[in-house]
Structure formats: structure tokens, C-alpha cells
Structure 1
Amino acid sequence: MNSEKDYIDRYYMTEVDKYSDSIYCHHTVMGEHVEEHQHHKGQFLYTEGGIVFLKTPEKSYFLPARHYIWIPAGTRHSIHPSSPTVIMRNLYFPKFDTDSLFYEKINIYPVNDLLIELIMFSNRWNGNIHKSDEPNYTLAKSFKLILPELSQSELPLALPYPNNPLLIQVITYLEKDLSKNVTFNELSEHFDVGERTLARLFQKEINMSFIQYYTILRMLTALKLLLDEKLSIKEVSNRVGYHSLPTFSNTFHKIIGVRPSEYVKKKSYLL
């Protein structure tokens, strides 16, 4: 392995899809990032040791601790870890006749205790698992088949990319200082555009309202900040524009699925 490109060519472009009917398993330290690529197989990705951004041509996904992302076959994506020491746990699955619509959507889901145990069990696998490799193949296939049952609540941990130049400016402005807690009216006045026009722009370009986008942006930023041990929950709350701790906690719980205090308590275990 002489370079990152050699690694990507050998692993992502060659090894994963070398056998069309095998299940491919790979656990590795990520390094800096993985350039855009795609697989013929669907990918289960779980990470340890930090957070990961996964980018497709349409959206930027945020994968925090204690969550996994399902990437459907054929989806072009790049992977960007918060640290080169992040560990990637991957399982790549061929299509099965029993596959449901669940496997056709890219989504992020929380990981419960049972799935954690299954992920840890997969540590003993490496490389291609063929149908003849029993009982490993049956166990690995069962891993995929049980995912819909264990993944009832998808999380909106993704932000779409706008193409409109004005909306790009608006979003860049919001990202610069989330502590300001900018209102929609203030945003409209700052960019000298009517509120109705701006509202239609958000819906047309990214298929969500301003408040939906702004809330998810702030919660994703809060997740990143909570992984910094130097910041308290109150400090994180203020940094993302919530000066009421209960309001911040309730919003975080609604979007992420756990309260910030629970997330911080579990942090050492999750990472």
C-alpha cells in the first residue's frame, strides 16, 4: 500500500466488489479521508473514536457516536473523519431477494445494545465471507436482515446542499455564528429579500423550512461540541444559540434521540 489512492483502489474499488455474492467485512483506522467512490454492495458503516461526515452529491450526513449509516448500493459518497484515528467498522452486503425498501434509502439510525453486540461479534470477520463459509455467512446475512427491525427511528442528521447563490450566502451567514440565534425576519432584512420569497427558496432548494434547517444545523454543531471535553452542556447550549438549557435539552432529545446529559455520560463508552 503505497498511497491513499492505492488503498482506495485496492480496497474500495476492487476488494469489496470482487465477488458479487460475498459479504465483505472490513475494520480499519480511517486515516485522513476517503475520496468519492461507490460500491455494487450496500454498506453498513459504524464508527468509533470520533465523528464522521459522509458526503453524497446531494447531502452532507453527520454520523455521531452510537449511530450507524446505511449506504445503498451504487451511492456515490466520500468519508471525512473528525480525526485520523477514527475506526471504521464496515459490512458490505449483496442484494437479497428478501430486501425491502429499507435498503434503498441512505439513513442514519441509533444503535441499541443488541446491535452493539452484533457489531462487536463482527470483529472476528475480515475480508470476503462466501456462502460456503458456514456458519459465518448465515450469521452475517442475519445481521443485514435484522437491521430494519432494529432501526425503527431514522434521524435527520443530514443537511442538503443548496444550488441557489442567494441561499448559499444565507446558509454561510448562519453557519458563521450560531450563538446569535437569528430570526427569520432578521435574516430576511439582512439579505433584503421578502420572507415569503425566502421561505419558498428554502422549500424549493432543500425541501425543508428555515426553522427545520436551522434547528438541525444547530443540533449537529452541538453534537460536535459535546465531543470536546472542555465544553460543558451549558456552554454548548450557548454556542448554538440556546440560552435556555431546558429548551436546548428538549430540542436535542427530539432530534438526536437522547438528552445531552445522557450523551455526555455515555461518551467514553460510545467512542
Structure 2
Amino acid sequence: MDLVAVSREKYYIKEVDADKKSIYCHHDLMGELLIPTHKHDKAQMLYSEGGIVYVTTETRTYFLPARHFIWIPGGVAHSIHPSSEKVMMRNLYFPIEKDEESFYETEGIYPINDLLLQMMLFTNRWNGNLKKGSRNFIIANAIKAILPEICLTKLPLSVPSPKDRRLLKIIDYLEKNWGDTILFSDLASRFGFSERSLYRLFQKDLGMSFIQYFTIRRILKAIELLLEKKLSISEVARTVGYNSVPTFSNTFFKILGQRPSDYLNGVEILKKG
């Protein structure tokens, strides 16, 4: 094992929980394309800049775009997959307290407003354990305390992990054909299902319909393309299968809570900050 690997292991496995009462703070470039599956006793607030991050738990894959954060409760095994080694990761790890609000008990992705953004950027000067009772601990704990007040709705920026091998093949096909008009009847026929049996398979294995799954994945792909800034909004819409830009914009809004143009304008604030 090289020195970099040893350092990573020491950070996210050994150091985070070394002081059970502290808030652990870590800001750094990823420097890699994978943090393998691991877990820690403390809850994690992960905010990223400069790219997209996938967070995979035992049951779901979460899609973390710029200007959003993910809350991961303590004890939840997860792996982290950034789109680039140059993604900046801002992490705060919080000790679990007794009788905490239900907000802190579930995974979720939330937009970060200007207040929370400035508070997170303020922690940029810190790294390591923030001792309980210290000024920095109090400031970091204030970030945690306001989350249930301002993060009222989890965004559906995740998809369940399929277990059925038949469904894995279907999803692989969908992933390779973003821009195509895919009729459910044609999809069922292609893979040897009746429409009714394929509908049941999606519902049983993923807990959602084909339309729900494919719509979320298309919008997640659209976010990736928008952040690359190689295509216009209308070109992104066509690439992920929308012939109508207004329909694409409305669907984007339903999932992310922002129009594509507003989302990109919000991302620009990160650079100014």
C-alpha cells in the first residue's frame, strides 16, 4: 500500500472517529476517483465543488451536483465516486447526540442556500478535530443545527440499486440510449417481457415505475452535461431525449427545484465565493 493510500485510510477510517466528541473537519481535493466502501460512527455532511460526486450506499446511488450537499447518518456504509480528481470535497463529521431530530436519521440530498454556502466556506480554514466547547466547534455545530430548519425537502437525486439480473441488462440498455424515444412496450418486447410483467419487475425491485426511473436518470445525465458547459441548454435537452426545451425545463424544475438556467447561474456563485 502506497503512502497516499495509507493517508486516505488514516483520514476517513481512523481519524474521523478518533475523538468521539469532536466535530471532524476535512477539506481537500479528491485526488482520486474512488473512496472505497467504508463507514464511520459520526454523521457526515458532504459538500462538493468543481464537479459531480456519486455516493453509493447498500441500497441507492446518490447523485451530488454542485451547490448541493448530502447528509449521511452515522454507521451507513458508503463509497464515493467523483467525476474528477480535482473535485473539492468539504466534509463535516458530527457526533451522534441523544434524541436528535428525525432529519439526522436519514440519507438525503439538499440544495445549499447562500447562508449555508457562506458558513461552509468559512470552515475552509479548518482541518482536523474541532474540540467540543471550542469556538470553531460552536460555529460548525450551528451549521448542523440549522439544517432541519432550512432543508425542508429532500431532492430525488438518487436511484435505487437494482438486484434482479434481468433488470441490470435493461438499465444498461437505457444508460446507452439517452437520446432515443423508448416506448415501454418496445422495451418489454426487446427483453422478452410482457408490459405487465416488466412493470411489476420495476416496481418490485426498484420501488418505482419505468417512467419515474428513466426520467430521473435523464435529468441526472442532463445535469452532468450542463456542468461540462460544452452544450447549450437546448442541445442538452435534445441529447437526453427531449424535443421540447420547455418540457425539459419543466421536468428539470420538478426534480431539482430550479430551471436549468437558474441552476447554472447558482453554480457560478461558487467561483465568486
Q: TM-score, normalised by structure 1?
A: 0.96
1:57-105 C-alpha deviation (Å, 9 max, x unpaired): 2111110011000011011111111111110000000012241111111
C-alpha distance in 2 between matches for 1:4 and 1:203: 43
* Residue 181 (structure 1) shift: 2.2
Paired residue for 2:25? 25
* Residue 14 (structure 1) shift: 0.9
Paired residue for 2:247? 247
- For residue 228 of structure 2, give the secondary structure of its aligned residue in structure 1: coil
Paired residue for 1:56? 57
**Larger deviation: 143-152 or 216-225?**
143-152
* Residue 4 (structure 1) shift: 3.7
1:27-52 C-alpha deviation (Å, 9 max, x unpaired): 01111121111110000000011111
Paired residue for 1:100? 101
Percentage of pairs with the same residue = 52
Matched, 1:122 2:123: yes
C-alpha distance in 1 between matches for 2:264 and 2:133: 44
Contact conserved, 1:115 with 1:150, CA < 8 A, in 2? no
**Larger deviation: 239-248 or 30-39?**
30-39
* Residue 2 (structure 1) shift: 4.2
Paired residue for 1:185? 185
Contact conserved, 2:67 with 2:266, CA < 8 A, in 1? no
Return the letter of the residue paired with 1:65. A
Alignment size in residue pairs? 270
* Residue 106 (structure 1) shift: 0.8
Return the letter of the residue paired with 2:63. F
Output aligned runs, 1:70-85, within 5 Å.
Answer: 70-85=71-86
- For residue 242 of structure 1, give the secondary structure of its aligned residue in structure 2: coil
Output aligned runs, 1:26-41, within 5 Å.
Answer: 26-32=26-32, 33-41=34-42
Contact conserved, 1:54 with 1:60, CA < 8 A, in 2? yes
1:96-151 C-alpha deviation (Å, 9 max, x unpaired): 22411111111100011111111012123221111242x22222212111111111
User: What is the Cα-based RMSD across aligned positions, in Å?
Assistant: 1.4
**Larger deviation: 121-130 or 23-32?**
121-130
Return the letter of the residue paired with 2:259. R
Output aligned runs, 1:211-250, within 5 Å.
Answer: 211-250=211-250
1:176-197 C-alpha deviation (Å, 9 max, x unpaired): 1110021211111211211111
Return the letter of the residue paired with 1:146. I
Return the letter of the residue paired with 1:166. R
C-alpha distance in 1 between matches for 2:103 and 2:266: 28
Paired residue for 2:141? 141
C-alpha distance in 2 between matches for 1:105 and 1:58: 13
C-alpha distance in 2 between matches for 1:270 and 1:199: 42
- For residue 178 of structure 1, give the secondary structure of its aligned residue in structure 2: coil
* Residue 269 (structure 1) shift: 2.6
Contact conserved, 1:53 with 1:63, CA < 8 A, in 2? yes
Paired residue for 2:69? 68
Contact conserved, 1:110 with 1:153, CA < 8 A, in 2? no
Consecutive unaligned residues of structure 1, counting only runs of 5 or more, are: none
Consecutive unaligned residues of structure 2, counting only runs of 5 or more, are: none
